[in-house]
Amino acid sequence: MSNTVYSINGPVVKTKDSPSLSMLEMVYVGEKRLVGEVIGVSDGLTTIQVYESTTGLKPGEPIAPTGAPLSVTLGPGILSN
């Protein structure tokens, strides 16, 4: 059951028994590979914030770790404007 969706509450998804996920790691959630970020790790549950609509997502769908933090490529002028 590791690295699968256990529960969904709006943009917050939880998974059980997923030791391969770490804090602030970017993950892909579900068959649609929605972008998410691990925001909590406790004894048995890992909490993920999904940054796209979770409509249609259901328990049992896969969660794919990336091993990297969430990042964004900025274009020229973004920081100075």
Distance (Å, whole) CA 7 – CA 14: 5
pLDDT value at residue 64: 95
Looking at the chain, which runs of residues are DSSP E strands? 7-9, 12-16, 25-29, 34-41, 45-50, 63-69
pTM of the model: 0.86
pLDDT in tens, the chain (81 residues): 469 999 999 999 999 988 889 999 999 999 999 999 999 999 889 999 999 999 999 999 999 999 999 888 878 877 776
pLDDT value at residue 81: 67
pLDDT value at residue 1: 46
